Structure 1
Amino acid sequence: MGSNEPSLNDRFFLSCDINLPLTVRIDGLDGEYPASSASDLDRELTADSANSVLDDSRPVPELYVECVLYLDGIKFGLPTRTRLASVENPFCWNELVTVSAKIRDLTQDAQLALTVWDVSQPRIEIAVGGSTLVLFNRKDRLKTGKQKLRLWRGCEADGSSPTSTPGKVPKHERGEVERLEKLLNKFERGQLPRMDWLDRLALREIENVKLEESKRTGKTNLHLVVDLRTFEHPVRFQELGSHMLTNPPIFSENELVTVGDPEVGRANPSENKQLKLARVDRAVFDRDLKPNSSEKKALQKILKHPPTRILSGDERQLLWKFRSSLKMDKRALTKFLRCVDWSDAQEVKQAVDLMKKWAPIDIADALELLSPVFESEEVRAYAVTVLGRADDDEFRCYLLQLVQALRYERSDKSHLTFFLVDRVVQSPELSSFFRWYVAVELQDPSYARRFYCVYDILEDALKKTPAGVEQWENMIRQTELTAQLCSIMRDVKNARGGTKKMIEKLRQLLTGLLSELTYFDEPISLPLDPTVMITGIIPSESSIFKSTLHPLRLTFRTKVGGKCQIIFKKGDDMRQDQLVIQMVSLMDRLLKLENLDLQLTPYKVLATGQDEGMVEFVSSTSLAQVLGDYKTIINFFQQYHADEHGPFGITAACLETFIRSCAGYCVIMYILGVGDRHLDNLLLTKDGRLFHIDFGFILGRDPKPFPPPMKLCKEMVEAMGGAESEHYGRFKSFCCEAYNILRKSSNLILNLFHLMAGANIPDIASDPEKGILKIQEKFRLDLDDEEAVQFFQSLINDSVSALFPQMVETIHRWAQYWR
């Protein structure tokens, strides 16, 4: 029977269809390397270094391999390093390295630059040798299997095209040894037939030839052996997006799809040529080119896309075509930069030149340019210059995300690093927050080296002035204080007898062994608010909360004779709470800029470690306790703001504050997708402000089934006079007005969350892309303002009429009682 199935020899994979990371196993060095003395190699490596002096007492070599991916001669992603290897394990790493790119992203001229570094000398890194591996051969097939690469002694690997450090010796430079090495590589990869008795003779003879060559030249070639991923069939290069399959394959982690017909997926040569010609720089033509009416509509539609939207091929082409006419529109720059082919050096030059002539962009757009999407150093440096326009108040709103943006820089000492340090050292408050944000990131092993570098740069910058030295010493005392508080918590938790015994233990420690904490030798700036100088803890006014983690409630004396209270937690990741409160503070600022004050309470939160932190204590009562003690919210307000002539027997100001704060938190908690809302984490102050605490679930996560869109219980509606009252109508009006104001700043909020994608915050780290899209969905950017008002009013009605959450609330109250 005949078959249409292709033969095994005809089968291949297309590189653009392989959604797997590029990996390479670094095996080890092949050849002699001096192990314990500064022999000829050291002298050879340092012959051109006038400032390097090595003696014969050189320590045991410690080597690592640095791997950098280059696409068309341009560095792509961050370098990847192996562990250190020493002579005890004779320079054999046998380590799998994953490059920051997928096989489908590779270009035809993709190559890996591998450099072996020796770091045995203190504060000196010596390049043992470098080699560049071209990933596709002359037949456009991806190289696989073992590769023995020649190391160019004393040189760092060159990623340019053509490279000056090729792993394979060029034909015109090859001698007999190189010819035999090439054959030996093929033999080891199984590309040559094997015959045991003849192979042994041949291998012995090859070793003799290499030995004779080393005696004649006086030196031995050094090679780096690496192992590339192998596939069932050959992988042929195909540019991503240049072919269309009738049924696009879906890949799992360990699944590849075989394409049988070699004609399938082959691009139309005339179309390819047209696309290339469309991007040829015709400066005079492009400068005068104007879009017609339909093209203008298409461009305006593109400019309204949120920053999370991936541009299609047609959209990218349209932006590139009219790039000159768009440069006066500040909204268009980020979209234009997304359409640039950053692997094309000519396009990159045009884009960077045009970027410098573009209309000044907003700070929100500059934050987008610092996201992981943009790797170009010129683009990121441009974004930094735009950030310089922000005043201190605005800069403080973004500082947390700007520290996270350091993860996406190409080097430890980037433009952003020095900009942040130069900016924060001008303000003791900013420098204190910056240092804590960096200190927390030091605990992330993946980026510890980078943040240690930032930490050192900050220290050096502060110590240049006497005031800075004093400020740095104050920061060190802050760290010592938090360490002592952690120690107190450990001791207190060991006390038996419940919360009352723990409180006694706390006060005993503060008046006994740790009495120095009651009166500091020198005032310390409070980490939560560096403008407040504290002088000691008041034991009699400090306590412990009755909860699982038993957080401390500490009362400090201040330098001006006042008091301040904080909550210190250990055993809980405070970074998520810190992010939510930062967003509440930012949204409060955005609303006030539009003359809408919703009486929010953005209390301060500071993570001082990955499982510890401080929270500002706000005198308030939980809604559960209010309803338990006073039956209604109005009865609670009547105790403090009674007015027989006011609405419901309370002052109009108190009711107005309550209505506004309810509206503000309903909108913000809805946008951020805050879950696990119950009456114990909704608090009321005596002056009428309602606010939320404990943000263990965000971005739509909720431990309770069928949660309402927002937390608006019937007791809150009753406090406004019911669903038919004019006060409830004002509440809904405030909600809709706030919602539309915040929708205008959706790009800013989405960009800030995008910068947090690399942080190890639980509800973001699980799926950053999905979390950001959930926030985008909440903004309903497809609606105009009037439609958005109708949409939000329907959300309020759905939340008020939700009966099931009331059942859950009853269950939760019983659980709290028995606990």
Structure 2
Amino acid sequence: MTGNEFRFFLSCDISVPVTFRVERLEGNLPLPNPKSPDLETNAPTENRTKELFVECALYIDGAPFGLPMRTRLESSGPSYCWNELITLTTKYRDLTAQSQLTFTVWDLSHGEGLIGGATILLFNNKKQLKTGKQKLRLWAGKEADGTFPTSTPGKVPRHERGELERLEKLVNKYERGQIQRVDWLDRLTFKTMERIKERESLKNGSSHLYLVVDFCSFEHRVVFQESGANFLFPSPIASTNDIVVVWDPEVGKINPSEHKQLKLARSLTRGVIDRDLKPSSNERKSIQRILKYPPTRTLSGDERQLLWKFRFSLMSEKRALTKFLRCVEWSDVQEAKQALELMGKWEMIDVCDALELLSPVFESEEVRAYAVSVLERADDEELQCYLLQLVQALRFERSDKSRLSHFLVQRALRNIELASFLRWYVAVELYDPAYAKRFYCTYEILEENMMKIAAGVNGEEDGFKQWQSLVRQTELTAQLCSITREVRNVRGNTQKKIEKLRQLLSGLLSELTYFDEPIRSPLAPGVLIAGIVPSESSIFKSALHPLRLSFRTANGGTCKIIFKKGDDLRQDQLVVQMVSLMDRLLKLENLDLHLTPYKVLATGQDEGMLEFIPSRSLAQILSENRSIISYLQKFHPDDHGPFGITATCLETFIKSCAGYSVITYILGIGDRHLDNLLLRNDGGLFHVDFGFILGRDPKPFPPPMKLCKEMVEAMGGAERYSSH
């Protein structure tokens, strides 16, 4: 090989198994702990012979690949030498650039004791296969980690390298033929190196252990190259109508020329900024079309360029801010700086648009802080509409004590209802191990700050009493879970279970019938509940046996709540929240569709509460009355009204049917049948049980909305509206 010539093999062309030799262990082994219970009945520590073996495993892209291999036991220490050849089943052509070998040294002299482990990449940063002897530093007491990046790298840190490491590199070059061989000089050199090695080991007295591994060498260097795709082209292509799949490795990657052109077009390199530039008629239409895109739609390169080009003329359009921030290249310091300056001068956006800026798409702390400043303008009622989503947005903050977390806590301190819902929303997320620490931090901040609230001059409770009233909600749900378990264990029909429920409330759990102090209802924190009425409480005939509990309130009334254990209500909670939000927005436009956004609160991963609305299912109504009109005539008869019922009742039924038909279509709610369509006595229809949403349905080819013929007949039949 000449000086300018580089010969190499491609890894994808090498069809031999991965092979290496585990040679020896260098360094002083740590003495076992004499106080260890494993050593109390054994021989003295100094007389015990260690029995070591090395476990080797291949990891590809951070995942184990194939079965681990083990060397034989070696007990002829302290210089433990295996010199054992290991051959894996994986071939070099199957490796990726992030392939790693893990080595873990175990001691079997007193059980399976861990000595240490190390990991080494098979390819270096130049994508060349590592060959020759490799000296790996073991991480004491840690098993080798094969994830990428690894926590147990075997590479000796630069500050720990000495003369010995330099000489070992030269030996590797010598063995690869990169250093000319001179026999008489080589013998002298290796003798000198042995003396240096002994001197270095005595001088350093290093506490580290090193494992020496010898990788397989080839005639030339081996450069990493992925195996090409197996193209199976039809022959000839022109003679067939079949689609040919062509593998393109550059799909999805950034085109450097397009990226450069984009930067030039944005005037960052030329410094020319036209602040008075106005879009043409066609460009204005394109911009308006872009502004109507939903937040989930990704902007194309041309669309991003169009918004950036006319950014100054769009500053008075508040709807354009979120789209403009999506087209910013945040990795470019100059562009990000200019975007933040424009954001501060932009027309203030609406509260609902601020939610988009708290999504995971926007990582800039300045943008997220701006979104919080917009939320500060919202009143408590509007904030409660979006509170569930704001709590979820805490997942995407950079720190546990973020500005969003501080904002939510401060608003909760001013409104006990917000505080109750915030506490429950955060408490449910504590079951998620990935974000439990973050939500627990918010929970602690809420508790700590609420304790500091002093009693109000108008007789308001101090913070301690308010927090205790919220904590008692959790205690109540725990007792209801216990009751549910007791009831389920009762053998027999539903009536026997109801008797057991009332027996528990009247006897063993009689403290639930009269609370020592009123508790804020978890579903409606503004309502104080004083106890359960056993005679009015019951159980639904269902597989999960949900409880229907009647609570007496502090003002002498009653409220009924359904408690379910064994069902995740978080999805129902989300859908009902969407219904409530739509109902609020429609009423702001003077359109009341008589919807029934009953309250739902998940108090755990598999438990929660629902507001009980007096109603009956359409299946039950039709089986007993044969028609919806006959049922409504019992409650709102009117001889002069349409179909013998009052006009108000019919209008309520028609509007609620229309409202829920559109809502279920928009949300893609499935599994609609007559058992989960309920009807109130005043004619209001509503849906329950939202286990299938966003287009999912247990039945194939479901209709886009549930509008059965009995519902149409109750409106007067299809003929009544055919001429309109």
Please give the alpha-carbon distance, in whole angstroms, between the structure 1 residues aligned to 2:570 and 2:316.
40
Structure 1 pair 559–355 and aligned structure 2 pair: CA distance change class (3 A): same
Aligned to 2:89: none
CA offsets 1:141-169 (integer angstroms, 9 cap, x no match): 69999998999xxxxxxxxxxxxxxx998
Aligned to 1:718: 713
Structure 1 pair 213–678 and aligned structure 2 pair: CA distance change class (3 A): same
1:334 aligned onto 2:322: yes
Aligned to 1:275: 262
Do the aligned partners of 1:177 and 1:210 also contact (CA within 8 Å) in 2?
A: no
Aligned to 1:408: 396
Secondary structure of the structure 1 residue equivalent to 2:719: coil
Shift of 1:277: 2.5
Structure 1 pair 175–292 and aligned structure 2 pair: CA distance change class (3 A): farther
Structure 1 pair 8–386 and aligned structure 2 pair: CA distance change class (3 A): farther
Letter of the aligned partner of 1:691 in structure 2? F
Pick one of 508, 512, 527 that aligns with 1:517.
512
CA offsets 1:296-329 (integer angstroms, 9 cap, x no match): 3333332222211111222222222332332222
Please give the alpha-carbon distance, in whole angstroms, between the structure 2 residues aligned to 1:178 and 1:580.
64
- Larger RCO: 1 or 2 (CA < 8 Å, sep 6+): 1
Aligned to 2:380: 392
Q: Which range moves more in the overlay, 293-302 or 372-381? A: 293-302
Letter of the aligned partner of 1:581 in structure 2? V
Structure 1 pair 668–344 and aligned structure 2 pair: CA distance change class (3 A): same
Structure 1 pair 514–268 and aligned structure 2 pair: CA distance change class (3 A): closer
Letter of the aligned partner of 2:487 in structure 1? V
Structure 1 pair 379–501 and aligned structure 2 pair: CA distance change class (3 A): same
Letter of the aligned partner of 1:276 in structure 2? K
Aligned to 1:420: 408
Shift of 1:545: 0.7
Shift of 1:354: 2.0
* 1:461-472 → structure 2 map (5 Å cutoff): 461-466=449-454, 467-472=462-467
Do the aligned partners of 2:267 and 2:273 also contact (CA within 8 Å) in 1?
A: no
Letter of the aligned partner of 2:491 in structure 1? R
Structure 1 pair 185–583 and aligned structure 2 pair: CA distance change class (3 A): farther
Please give the alpha-carbon distance, in whole angstroms, between the structure 2 residues aligned to 1:388 and 1:546.
46
Do the aligned partners of 1:147 and 1:185 also contact (CA within 8 Å) in 2?
A: no
Aligned to 2:654: 659
Pick one of 205, 217, 224 that aligns with 1:233.
224
Pick one of 625, 628, 633 that aligns with 2:628.
633
1:570 aligned onto 2:557: no
Please give the alpha-carbon distance, in whole angstroms, between the structure 1 residues aligned to 2:347 and 2:194.
66
1:349 aligned onto 2:340: no
Pick one of 491, 506, 529 that aligns with 1:534.
529
Shift of 1:295: 3.1
The alignment of Structure 1 onto Structure 2 pairs a total of residues equal to 573
CA offsets 1:324-370 (integer angstroms, 9 cap, x no match): 33222222222222122222222222222222122211222211111
Letter of the aligned partner of 1:289 in structure 2? L
Please give the alpha-carbon distance, in whole angstroms, between the structure 2 residues aligned to 1:667 and 1:432.
32
Structure 1 pair 272–366 and aligned structure 2 pair: CA distance change class (3 A): closer
Pick one of 437, 446, 466 that aligns with 1:458.
446
Structure 1 pair 270–561 and aligned structure 2 pair: CA distance change class (3 A): closer
Secondary structure of the structure 2 residue equivalent to 1:606: strand
Please give the alpha-carbon distance, in whole angstroms, between the structure 1 residues aligned to 2:565 and 2:326.
43
Do the aligned partners of 2:164 and 2:200 also contact (CA within 8 Å) in 1?
A: no
Aligned to 2:699: 704
Pick one of 591, 600, 605 that aligns with 1:605.
600
Structure 1 pair 649–324 and aligned structure 2 pair: CA distance change class (3 A): same
Letter of the aligned partner of 1:400 in structure 2? L
Please give the alpha-carbon distance, in whole angstroms, between the structure 2 residues aligned to 1:341 and 1:472.
45
Secondary structure of the structure 2 residue equivalent to 1:663: helix
Structure 1 pair 660–271 and aligned structure 2 pair: CA distance change class (3 A): closer
Do the aligned partners of 1:525 and 1:534 also contact (CA within 8 Å) in 2?
A: yes
Structure 1 pair 325–138 and aligned structure 2 pair: CA distance change class (3 A): farther
Structure 1 pair 402–270 and aligned structure 2 pair: CA distance change class (3 A): closer
Please give the alpha-carbon distance, in whole angstroms, between the structure 1 residues aligned to 2:576 and 2:635.
28
Letter of the aligned partner of 2:224 in structure 1? H
Shift of 1:138: 8.5
Pick one of 409, 423, 426 that aligns with 1:435.
423
Secondary structure of the structure 2 residue equivalent to 1:425: helix
Percent of aligned positions with the same letter in both sequences? 65
Structure 1 pair 174–617 and aligned structure 2 pair: CA distance change class (3 A): same
Letter of the aligned partner of 2:394 in structure 1? L
Please give the alpha-carbon distance, in whole angstroms, between the structure 1 residues aligned to 2:334 and 2:712.
62
Structure 1 pair 717–355 and aligned structure 2 pair: CA distance change class (3 A): same
Structure 1 pair 415–221 and aligned structure 2 pair: CA distance change class (3 A): farther
Do the aligned partners of 1:11 and 1:258 also contact (CA within 8 Å) in 2?
A: no
Shift of 1:380: 1.1
Do the aligned partners of 1:148 and 1:185 also contact (CA within 8 Å) in 2?
A: no
Do the aligned partners of 2:632 and 2:681 also contact (CA within 8 Å) in 1?
A: yes
Pick one of 576, 590, 593 that aligns with 2:588.
593
* 1:19-418 → structure 2 map (5 Å cutoff): 176=163, 179=166, 212=200, 233-234=224-225, 273-281=260-268, 285-418=273-406
Letter of the aligned partner of 2:677 in structure 1? L
Shift of 1:716: 0.8
Shift of 1:191: 13
Secondary structure of the structure 2 residue equivalent to 1:287: coil
Q: Decide which structure has the larger Cα Rg and report it.
A: 2
Letter of the aligned partner of 1:321 in structure 2? K
Secondary structure of the structure 1 residue equivalent to 2:465: helix
For structure 2, the 5+ residue unaligned runs are: 1-6, 13-25, 34-55, 64-119, 140-154, 211-221, 227-242, 455-461
Please give the alpha-carbon distance, in whole angstroms, between the structure 2 residues aligned to 1:93 and 1:523.
62
Please give the alpha-carbon distance, in whole angstroms, between the structure 1 residues aligned to 2:305 and 2:245.
27
Aligned to 1:57: none
CA offsets 1:205-246 (integer angstroms, 9 cap, x no match): 699669849957x998999xxxxxxx99358xxxxxxxxxxx
Do the aligned partners of 2:9 and 2:223 also contact (CA within 8 Å) in 1?
A: no
Do the aligned partners of 1:634 and 1:648 also contact (CA within 8 Å) in 2?
A: yes
Letter of the aligned partner of 2:579 in structure 1? V
Please give the alpha-carbon distance, in whole angstroms, between the structure 2 residues aligned to 1:689 and 1:143.
73
Please give the alpha-carbon distance, in whole angstroms, between the structure 1 residues aligned to 2:29 and 2:307.
54
Superposition TM-score, scaled by structure 2 size: 0.69
Structure 1 pair 296–640 and aligned structure 2 pair: CA distance change class (3 A): closer
Letter of the aligned partner of 2:479 in structure 1? Q
Do the aligned partners of 2:322 and 2:356 also contact (CA within 8 Å) in 1?
A: yes
Please give the alpha-carbon distance, in whole angstroms, between the structure 2 residues aligned to 1:323 and 1:577.
41
Please give the alpha-carbon distance, in whole angstroms, between the structure 2 residues aligned to 1:340 and 1:493.
57
Shift of 1:690: 0.7
Structure 1 pair 541–319 and aligned structure 2 pair: CA distance change class (3 A): same
Structure 1 pair 658–212 and aligned structure 2 pair: CA distance change class (3 A): same
Structure 1 pair 500–335 and aligned structure 2 pair: CA distance change class (3 A): same
Superposition TM-score, scaled by structure 1 size: 0.62
Please give the alpha-carbon distance, in whole angstroms, between the structure 1 residues aligned to 2:171 and 2:665.
65
Shift of 1:285: 2.4
